[in-house]
């Protein structure tokens, strides 16, 4: 009961903050505005209008990207975001799927599919060569690791065992999630700005510090603090989804609101399966 009360309080506080910062606007007939519909996420809106989540967050001053309400008005860029010059070739790796590759290079899934004449978003295979338009440089950090070999870091395993245990989570699941997200690298930063072992968005980390944990942590510099925050967030998601593992992991990836509205994107399904496959391979119960 105490856990559920804390969850309700935390989510209520987050929603209150979000409503203050992102009050619902009156619908605008302008084609450069998008009224949020049930099931919409920033990712789906960005993909629809050939822009990026980061640009929508900045343009709309969105504090909590996972929280969208039906009827909210999302302002769109006045014109398409200029493409970076150049095209590079990328070799598909095990565990890759189209939207994750697009995210690595900060382009839209649609642009990547059109550049390679791909009609079925799921039909890519390892070692396939893809043209990546508007990507002059390779990505700084991949956001999802191919689950091809186990990590070898006993100290990190012990740390995850401890912090996952404190939240009543399966340590193997947390290890698998962190391995797929960052390769257990605290310095990993995604194109969208997610940081560290657990790839936390800065806005999520700020909310956890202020409304859930109640103290400042150093999730950008400390792997311990990053994992502590990530496991706390996972615990909240497990409680909010009634202990449903698939829904909790999906919420970690695509957002709680989208998941609980019944939306489950194909890349989200693959993400959940990859975590379970990695857990079963390296940390079976």
Tokens 């790796």, residue? Answer: 93
Strand, coil or helix: what is 201?
coil
Strand runs (DSSP E) across the chain, as ranges? Answer: 33-35, 73-75, 87-91, 129-133
In the prediction, which pLDDT does 22 show? 43
Q: Provide the whole-model pTM.
A: 0.53
Separation between Cα atoms, residue 92 and residue 201, nearest integer Å: 26
pLDDT of residue 65: 72
Task: Name the token pair of 26.
Answer: 């009156």
- As a whole number, mean pLDDT of residues 215-244 equals 93
* Of 7-11, 38-42, 98-102, 211-215, minimum mean pLDDT range: 7-11
Please check the confidence at residue 5 and state whether its pLDDT lies above 50.
no
Which pLDDT score, from 0 to 100, does residue 148 have?
A: 52
Q: For residues 99 and 44, give the distance between their C-alpha atoms in angstroms, rounded to a whole number.
A: 11
Please state the rounded mean pLDDT for residues 172-184: 91
Tell me which of 66-80, 166-180, 203-217, 262-276 is least confident: 66-80
Asked if the domains 2-75 and 154-282 are classified in one and the same CATH topology, the answer is no
The pLDDT assigned to 86 comes to: 58
Q: How far apart are CA 118 and CA 146, in angstroms?
A: 22
Q: Domain 87-133: what homologous superfamily?
A: LysM domain (3.10.350.10)
pLDDT at 80 (0 to 100): 44
Helix (H, G, I), strand (E, B) or coil at 97: coil
Domain ranges of the chain: 2-75, 87-133, 154-282
Express as a percent the part of the chain with pLDDT over 70.
76
pLDDT of residue 94: 76
- DSSP annotation of 152 reads -
Strand partners of residue 75: 33
> How confident is residue 15, by pLDDT bands cut at 50, 70 and 90?
very low
pLDDT of 262 above 70: yes
Task: Just give the CATH number of 154-282.
Answer: 1.10.530.10
- pLDDT tens per residue, range 88-147: 778 887 777 777 777 667 677 777 787 888 776 667 888 888 888 765 444 333 334 444
In this structure, of 11-20, 80-89, 237-246, the range with the lowest mean pLDDT score is: 11-20
| Three-state secondary structure call for residue 93 | coil
- Residue 265: the pLDDT is 82
**Domain 2-75 in this protein, CATH class:** alpha beta
Local confidence band at 31 (pLDDT 50, 70, 90 cut-offs): low
- 3-state secondary structure (DSSP) of residue 127: coil
For residue 76, pLDDT over 70 is answered with yes
**pLDDT of res. 120:** 66
Mean predicted confidence (pLDDT) in 38-63: 78
> What is the residue-averaged pLDDT of the chain?
76
Residues in contact with 9: Cβ distance below 8 Å, sequence separation at least 6, in sequence order = 211
Average pLDDT over residues 230-240: 94
State whether the Cα torsion 145-151-157-161 is positive or negative.
Answer: positive
């Amino acid at each position: 009961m105490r856990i559920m009360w804390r969850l309700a309080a935390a989510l209520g506080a987050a929603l209150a903050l979000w409503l203050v910062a992102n009050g619902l606007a009156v619908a605008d007939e302008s084609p450069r505005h998008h009224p949020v519909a049930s099931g919409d996420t920033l990712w789906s809106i960005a993909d629809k209008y050939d822009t990026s989540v980061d640009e929508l967050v900045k343009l709309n001053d969105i504090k909590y990207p996972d929280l969208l309400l039906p009827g909210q008005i999302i302002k769109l860029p006045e014109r398409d975001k200029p493409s970076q010059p150049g095209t590079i070739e990328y070799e598909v790796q095990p565990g890759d799927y189209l939207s994750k590759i697009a995210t690595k290079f900060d382009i839209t899934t649609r642009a990547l599919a059109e550049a390679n004449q791909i009609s079925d978003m799921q039909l890519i295979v390892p070692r396939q060569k893809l043209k990546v338009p508007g990507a002059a440089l390779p990505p700084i950090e991949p956001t999802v690791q191919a689950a091809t070999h186990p990590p070898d870091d006993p100290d990190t395993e012990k740390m995850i065992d401890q912090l996952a245990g404190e939240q009543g989570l399966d340590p193997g699941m947390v290890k698998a999630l962190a391995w797929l997200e960052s390769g257990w690298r605290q310095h990993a930063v995604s194109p969208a700005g997610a940081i560290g072992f657990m790839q936390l968005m800065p806005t999520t980390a700020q909310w956890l510090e202020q409304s859930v944990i109640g103290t400042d942590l150093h999730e950008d510099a400390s792997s311990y603090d990053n994992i502590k925050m990530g496991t706390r967030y996972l615990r909240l998601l497990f409680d909010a989804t009634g202990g449903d593992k698939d829904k909790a992991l999906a919420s970690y990836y695509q957002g709680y609101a989208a998941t609980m509205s019944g939306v489950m994107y194909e890349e989200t399904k693959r993400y959940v399966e990859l975590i379970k496959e990695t857990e079963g391979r390296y940390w079976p119960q």
